[in-house]
Structure 1
């Protein structure tokens, strides 16, 4: 009885292996198709992107007929092979719709980034203008009053004025470039 359980367990474990044999091709409408069955015969060989077994005509690099062919014929065959490879378009395996969506997403990201940079530049320009106005006010020598944490009005003394000049100057150095 234990043998039957092990056999059943082995069959269950081996079932997903059959799903690993997948075909991938581009149909006549330009859509990618994934299947566990071979594509229909009207699909050209160049549109088959992935297959279960080796590609037809794909053999090892060693040619068994090299000894029988003369040296000149071998050179002509070697010259013709790259020409065929260059003439035949290679499937890229990239979905055109996916490429378009990716391009659009990248363009949107660049647009958002440019808008964000414009906002930051505008905020810096406003900060610069305000800091220059504050610097002119502090440097004018007029008496300046502030409201403290208790809501009381207090006049800035020389040390507070120097600290405020230093703070405003640091803002100008940071934002006015």
Structure 2
């Protein structure tokens, strides 16, 4: 029973601590770097770049410092909204997916070209060997390649192999 009461007290203390910090409308860093929570505005001595939360709005110090720099220069850049950030994220994700797809397609095409070049080299070796090469004609009859046809094939194969870098 004592254990159950302890757990209940711990949970209640935790909830009380969390709920009191939720009531704070202002959060800032003091001169020692500690976070201060209050429902009252920070003192005037606290610089604006040390205020983290103001009236329920979270302040991004990096953006506020660049806004101050921009206002000095005479240009103002509106802060990116969550929708703009999500849109930019989706755009980057889509660009990355497109790049990966393009790289995969290029790798596939390169592999196919390499395989075709390998087959052409093997065919060239067969043609250069002088052995008789049989073919099937349109009717399905077996015939042998003539010397003229062999010369034509060798010429065409040499042109195709020039694309392979040989």
Q: TM-score, length-normalised on structure 2?
A: 0.52
Higher RCO (C-alpha 8 Å, min separation 6):
1
- In structure 2, the partner of 1:156 is 145
Q: Is contact 1:143–1:156 with CA below 8 Å preserved after alignment? A: yes
Name which of 120, 123, 127 aligns with 1:138: 127
- In structure 2, the partner of 1:166 is 155
Residue 134 of structure 1 aligns to a residue whose secondary structure is helix
- In structure 2, the partner of 1:86 is 73
Unaligned stretches of 5+ residues in structure 1? 1-41, 45-81
Q: Distance in 2 between matches of 1:156 and 1:113?
A: 42
Q: Distance in 1 between matches of 2:122 and 2:70?
A: 73
Q: Where does structure 1 differ by over 6 angstroms across 4 or more consecutive aligned residues?
A: none
Q: Distance in 1 between matches of 2:70 and 2:85?
A: 27
Residue 94 of structure 2 corresponds to residue 105 of structure 1: yes
Give the length in aligned residue pairs. Answer: 99
Q: Residues 96 and 166 of structure 1: is their aligned pair in 2 closer, same or farther, counting only changes over 3 Å?
A: same
Shift in Å, 1:87: 8.5
Residue 163 of structure 2 aligns to a residue whose secondary structure is helix
Q: Distance in 2 between matches of 1:88 and 1:110?
A: 35
Unaligned stretches of 5+ residues in structure 2? 1-54, 58-68
Q: TM-score, length-normalised on structure 1?
A: 0.49
Q: Is contact 1:124–1:176 with CA below 8 Å preserved after alignment? A: no
Q: Residues 97 and 83 of structure 1: is their aligned pair in 2 closer, same or farther, counting only changes over 3 Å?
A: closer
What root-mean-square deviation, in Å, do the aligned CA atoms of Structure 1 and Structure 2 show?
2.7
